[in-house]
């Protein structure tokens, strides 16, 4: 459905291809977020095991947190657009 003003057409709904593209991006971003969280949790488990020489630096945890915030922000924008 489109509303017609004097010279402009105002779309009231996104085309089907745009909605499908947004849905695909949303699913892909959610999967990336899940993978990031799983990887971080795995590293945290390995680092806390007794006798483990594996150490996590604060920079790694900061980077993970920043990437997680960015992915969540992108997901929020796409959810609003859908």
Contact 78, 33 (CB under 8 A): no
Q: What is the pLDDT of residue 46?
A: 83
What pLDDT shows up at residue 38? 96
pLDDT value for 27: 96
- Continuous H helices in the chain: 16-48, 58-81
Residue listed under structure tokens 């990437």: 67
- Cβ atoms of 67 and 36 within 8 Å: the answer is yes
Q: Whole-prediction pTM value?
A: 0.76
Write the pLDDT tens digit of every residue in 48-78: 888 877 777 888 889 999 999 999 999 999 9
What would the pLDDT profile of 27-51 be if each residue is shown by its tens digit? Answer: 999 999 999 999 999 988 888 888 8
């Amino acid at each position: 459905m489109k509303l017609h003003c004097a010279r402009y057409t105002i779309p009231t709904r996104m085309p089907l291809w745009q909605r499908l593209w947004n849905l695909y991006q949303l699913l892909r971003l959610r999967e990336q977020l899940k993978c990031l969280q799983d990887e971080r949790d795995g590293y945290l488990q390995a680092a806390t095991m007794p006798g483990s020489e594996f150490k996590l630096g604060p920079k790694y945890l900061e980077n993970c947190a920043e990437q997680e915030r960015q992915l969540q922000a992108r997901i929020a924008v796409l959810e609003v657009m859908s």
